[in-house]
Chain A
Amino acid sequence: MESRIVEHPILDFPERTRVPFFWHGRELWGHEDEPIAAALHAAGIKVLHHSLKSGRPRGFFCAIGNCSSCLVVVDGVPNVRACTEKLRPGMRVERQDGVGPAPSLRR
């Protein structure tokens, strides 16, 4: 089933601008300004992070930036909360393993 809600008895979900972004190099489309996690979830991607010690899969949990379960690497910068960070066109998003890569000092 398509996971985007189109018709709802109470809520309206108006058309929003669709923007491309990259998940491990693969082009996906999401809605501008929605959280990265919403766009990934809609694309069927639930595993966002692997835990530090045992490497267990982690995903979205609290959705409001409290729990650190959804940390991803965005444009080379680790520890970005996928549930609160807004999707921007062309973003390169990757699953984070543990603490993730050290960000480059040269931007």
Chain B
Amino acid sequence: MIAVLIAELAVVGAGPAGVSGALEAASHGVRVALVDRGDRTGGQLLKQTHKFFGWHRKSAGTRGILIARQFEGEVRSDPNVTFLSGTEALGYYDDGVLLLESPGGIDRLHCDRLLVATGASERMLVFPGNDLPGVYGAGAVQTLMNVHGVRPGRSVLMIGSGNIGLIVSYQLAQAGVEVAAVVEALPAIGGYAVHASKIRRLGIPILTRHTIKEAYGKDQVEGAVIWELDGKWVGIPGTERDLDVDVVCLATGLTPLAEILWQAGAEIKYIPELGGFVPLYNQDMETTAKGVFVAGDVAGIEEASTAMAAGRLAGLCAARSLGKVADGEFKDLHESISTELAELRAGPTGEKILKGLAQIWSGTEVGA
């Protein structure tokens, strides 16, 4: 039997953006259904054992897993939020129906507004043997090890020295797994120096201008060959090194998980600065599909503190469009969250994001 559920706002994804959006909208009296395929709220925060590099006034210095736990408490105790865990959103239709699948079967959720906060997925890297069991995304390694308590293997080659590559290398060491090396194709380490120093102190080499040549093995990874790159990104013969590893971990970036937005008919644009194909949206976080809002990594790859602020902004604007927020209050809140976002995006990483966002705004201002 198909159950019919009703909410004023449906939020897909209970990570930092989705939870923040749901709680913000609920605080204005909006009845919210928060949907996530996992059992708990927190999204990626559930596997982040490191202390959070957030904004000084917000969650900086707190471990991701603790922020996730705090979310859980707030969501469960908010009378305006219904958390539908273990539930996947299959599609969103013109008549405001979000189709859901859970172990109980298929349900229909009627909603007046939709907030898509589905996050991102791991980017693949092309090399021989990249499909062998033992080649895992960095997110998968974190899930296996930090959520389920299973070591991914004996020894790991980490590809990518951005913050994710560095942090996951450290987490691997904490879990008692050897990290043979971190390779980085760029001439410099991508992530923060503080993370790089931590793993160097453990004796893990970070090799810049190096990449993987191949992973090999009969049925699963039995080893990997790395080599040095020349100035034109081509491997230099004779520089190959064979590493005795059973896991190759890819930390080569993320790309927005925007399928439901494509399906819902939102206009999508390829913006490399934001991680790939992203929806166009206005300053109120609304996409070109009317009543469909976005926040978090699906709207452009950033990090959790901006996701939380953008989530609140989207929740506020969705509440406003439902007539739940008075003009003055809306203006003040919109301004304060926008300022917070601008502060979070100040600095060298933010520059790239702002360049990407400029393309989003210019795409939506026409006719808006």
* CB <8 Å contact, A41 and B136: no
**Interface code A1-23, partner B: CB below 8 Å = 1, 0 otherwise?**
10111001111010000000000
Instruction: Give the residue of B63, B143, B149, B150 whose beta carbon is less than 8 angstroms from that of A10.
Output: B63
Contacts of B134 in A (CB 8 A): 46, 59
Instruction: Give the residue of B65, B149, B176, B220 whose beta carbon is less than 8 angstroms from that of A59.
Output: B220
Instruction: Give the residue of B144, B145, B175, B176 whose beta carbon is less than 8 angstroms from that of A60.
Output: B144
Contacts of B136 in A (CB 8 A): 60-61, 63
Tell which of A50-58, A72-80, A99-107 binds the partner: A50-58
* CB <8 Å contact, B219 and A62: no
Instruction: Give the residue of B37, B121, B137, B149 whose beta carbon is less than 8 angstroms from that of A5.
Output: B149
* CB <8 Å contact, A38 and B148: yes
Instruction: Give the residue of B37, B133, B151 whose beta carbon is less than 8 angstroms from that of A47.
Output: B133
Tell me whether A5 and B219 are in contact in the complex, defined as CB-CB below 8 angstroms, given that A63-B137, A64-B143, A84-B37 are known contacts: no
* CB <8 Å contact, B220 and A46: yes
A93 within 8 A of B: no
Contacts of B133 in A (CB 8 A): 46-48, 57-60
* CB <8 Å contact, B175 and A5: yes
Chain A's interface size range is 20 to 34
B174 within 8 A of A: yes
* CB <8 Å contact, A57 and B220: yes
* CB <8 Å contact, B139 and A62: yes
Task: State in angstroms the CA–CA spacing of A62 and B134 once bound together.
Answer: 11
Which of B37, B131, B135, B145 has the largest count of A CB atoms less than 10 A from its CB?
B131
Nearest Cβ on chain B to A45's Cβ, whole angstroms: 9
Supply 17 further A-B pairs (C-beta < 8 A) apart from A48-B133, A51-B131.
A1-B151, A1-B176, A4-B150, A5-B149, A5-B176, A10-B63, A11-B65, A34-B148, A46-B134, A46-B220, A57-B219, A60-B144, A61-B135, A62-B137, A63-B136, A64-B38, A64-B139
| Chain B residues in the interface with A (C-beta under 8 A) | 37-38, 49, 63, 65, 88, 121-122, 131-137, 139-140, 143-146, 148-154, 174-176, 219-220, 257
